[in-house]
Structure 1
Amino acid sequence: MDFHGKVVLVTGVGPGLGKACAEAFAKAGAKLAICDVNKKTLDETQHAVEHYGAECLAVQCDVSSSQEVSTMFKKIMQRYGTLDVLVNNAAITPNSDTDTQRRNELYRYMSTPEPRRSLSFTSSISDEEWHRYWGVNVHGVFYCTREALKIMEPNCSGKIVNIASIAGLSSKSAHSPHYCATKGAVISFTKSVAYEVAGSNIFVNAMAPGGVATPRFNEYLDHIGEEARNRLWQGVPLGRFGTVEEYAGTVLYLSGEHYLVGQVISPNGGGVI
């Protein structure tokens, strides 16, 4: 797909899907604006994008702050004067030691014959943990979408792709009810905004990926051992997680020319059909 002349903002461009999306847009000729809360990973992605010859504006930004998001969009307008595509990728994912323990417990419970019981995940989540997820995963999507629409609505043109998750569609991520709740909210927000702005030729859709084969998750798979990995793959007919490049291809498609409005595309290897 050709994105020459298009200005694309990708949020949350640390290692993983965000970086892969930025690189994919760069290869397709787009002018990039990228943001991340981590300066080191932001710089690394900027260098990767510029390696492909793409113009790139890198902004350190915490999307859970409406003020920082507003400042970032002002910089984008100063640099490029417009915005054609927004990819709302920035998110907190369940990667702490506690999250890993919960994930292991769920996978074992799902695949081992034993008496049914409560897994006691929700009752152990703190107020701070709950609000932190909503601040980035939901408020951040709203803040960025609001600023993007201020540019796209007068132009009667634009594409917004919200990165949701299979966690917002199913019980596959029941180990992280706070994460599931935020990704479900992203899906509902996508549908509402899509209907609202479609008449201005602005297309809003979501991708809800299944497991992503990031280096960090591959390390987790190596750590849990063969038996636990085999239990995990029982729930994925394809027998593997998607690569960041495969998911980035779906994001590029949703950012291009199509007839999709308010749809949730879920590449997940058959984990949810």
Structure 2
Amino acid sequence: MRLKGKVALITGAGSGIGRACAQLFAREGACVAIAEINADTGESVRQQVESEGGQAIFIRTDVSSPESVESAVARTVEAFGALDILYNNVGGSTLQDGPVTTTPFEEFRRKIDIDLFGTWLGCRYAVPEMIKRGGGSIINASSITALRGTRNRAAYTSAKGAVTALTRSMAMDLAEHQIRVNAVAPGSTLTERIVQRRQGGNARPEVAQRHILGLLDPVDVAYAVLYFASDESRKTTGQILAVDSGFTMT
């Protein structure tokens, strides 16, 4: 019960890494707010958590909307009385991404709105509640694309690189409030979206080969997020942890 007595808000918790975190956090004793734009998947995860004896609520949330994110934080505090942990999980690369000269304008704006602005909004509204609590932990979703050069991912790399820089900046700003800010940078993870892409023939074999321990399962990333969420990381802030099966070494 590494999160006993803690309240966690997880964005994009209806699938993939977010869902794995919601389930793991609940098993570790946290009350979990599932912030998800898809009502069907968000409600499904809430039911799964409660069927295992955990406590959870589902909040339909658009992370690119200030009003929606502010409401998600307020409803979390209303339901559970406080907020200790924020995991800004929403994001992901798409097949529309590419080099800077060919990536559609809409794709770039969408990545900035969801990955960067969505992360910024979550922090903006969660931090005051954590200050009231006397501290807390924010975990942002970075990516291995932010840690090394990656072809054909100009929009996604821009957004995740900015999230990485934001993480370090916030760690400096919030240390006086005992709020830790870290990020997890996953490698290629077998979420539903990636599995469908691979089944559709859009896999890149060279990427899989560079994951020297094999492609990741969402729970592999969830355990890294759990470390940052727990008091075990109480003296760790401003760090970017690559959970990438060795990809960044190759």
One fold, TM greater than 0.5?
yes
Q: Please report the RMSD computed on the Cα atoms of aligned residues, expressed in angstroms.
A: 1.8
Distance in 1 of aligned mates of 2:218 and 2:72: 26
CA deviations over 1:134-172 (Å, ceiling 9, x no partner): 111111111110111111123321011101111111123
Question: In structure 2, what is the equivalent of residue 159 of structure 1?
Answer: 137
Q: What aligned pairs does 1:83-232 form with structure 2 within 5 A after superposition? A: 83-91=83-91, 93-96=92-95, 98-99=96-97, 121-172=99-150, 174-224=151-201, 229=205, 231-232=206-207
- Mapping for residues 1-150 of structure 1, pairs under 5 Å: 1-91=1-91, 93-96=92-95, 98-99=96-97, 121-150=99-128
Cα distance in 1 for partners of 2:25, 2:210 equals 32
User: How many residue pairs are counted as aligned between the two chains?
Assistant: 247
Instruction: Find the structure with the greater CA-based Rg.
Output: 1
Q: Percent identity?
A: 31
Q: What runs of 5+ residues in structure 2 fail to find an aligned partner?
A: none
Q: Using the alignment, how far apart are the partners of 1:48 and 1:77 within structure 2? A: 22
- Tell me the distance in 1 between the aligned counterparts of 2:144 and 2:202: 24
2:83 touches 2:133 (CA, 8 Å); kept in 1? Answer: no
Aligned partner of 1:112 in structure 2 is none
**TM-score of the superposition, structure 2-length normalised?**
0.93
TM-score of the pair, normalised by structure 1:
0.85
Greater CA drift, 244-253 or 68-77: 68-77
User: What displacement does 1:247 show?
Assistant: 0.7
Query: Equivalent residue for 2:240?
Result: 264
Question: Where in structure 1 are there 5+ consecutive unaligned residues?
Answer: 103-120
* Alpha-carbon distance in structure 1 between the residues aligned to 2:210 and 2:27: 34
Alignment partner of 1:236 is 2:236: no
1:268 Cα offset (Å):
0.7
Q: Is the 8 A contact 2:84 2:133 kept in 1?
A: no
- Alignment partner of 1:260: what SS? coil
Name the counterpart of 2:226. Answer: 252
Q: Do 2:14 and 2:34's aligned partners in 1 also have CA atoms closer than 8 Å? A: no
Report the AA paired with residue 94 of structure 1.
S
